[in-house]
Amino acid sequence: MTSYISPQATYIIAFVACQLSLDQQSTVCEILLKNANDGTSAYELMAGLFRVCCLNSLVAQTGKLEEIKVRHSGDVEAKVIDGTYKVLDAAEDALAAPQDWSTMLLNADEKAILAEAAHVLRFGDADGETSTPITPAQLLTQRRTGDMGDDLWTTWNVVQENAIKGGIRAVGRDDLGRRRRVKSRAVNGIDQDIKLNKALWILGDKMAELKGAR
């Protein structure tokens, strides 16, 4: 079988320091470089976090920096290198979140609020309306024993992973009222993944502010 990659395809490359020694609870900062094969869009450099236990990349939306875009003109290499250092500062700033958020315990109501907001981000239409039989509470379902904490960092990661990776099952009704089984899909599109990840990060950051984080 011959594989084919569209010239217009978008891709992401993640850069992580190679000297890091990681365990199953590690979260490290990374630089994400987004580009298109045909060069029609600018390079985009973004701050990210990588959580080892679920092999999940979390795109950080910090207050300092959203992203840096580099056009395919002029001294591109120098601009990308300079932008990388700037984004690295934002990534390292975002790396404070695991420590800060881990100290904040959420009660049941706060968890429900976080899940409900994430549910709208993931399944809502342009008006914020949802029609899926999958409930907000299902976004709080832990996938591993290491995710059974009540702190904001653990809870946020559970919600984020469920929203991004999909696989959540529910039973709903079709237009004729017949029962139908549904399963949430993973967010595979690069642009959709980044957009949802950033929105979820802002959601967690706002919850942290309400809980008294810096």
Q: Is the pTM of this model over 0.85?
A: no
Better pLDDT: 49 or 137? 137
- Evaluate if residue 192 carries a pLDDT over 60: yes
The answer to whether 178 and 184 are in contact (CB under 8 A) is no
- The closest alpha carbon to 165, from 141, 201, 133, belongs to 141
Sequence-ordered alpha helix ranges (H) in the chain: 76-94, 96-102, 108-123, 152-165, 190-210
Chain-centre distance of CA 175, in angstroms?
33
Residue 65 pLDDT? 41
160-180: pLDDT as tens digits? 999 999 999 999 888 888 899
Better pLDDT: 30 or 97? 97
85-140: pLDDT as tens digits? 777 777 777 778 888 999 999 999 999 999 999 999 999 998 999 999 999 999 99
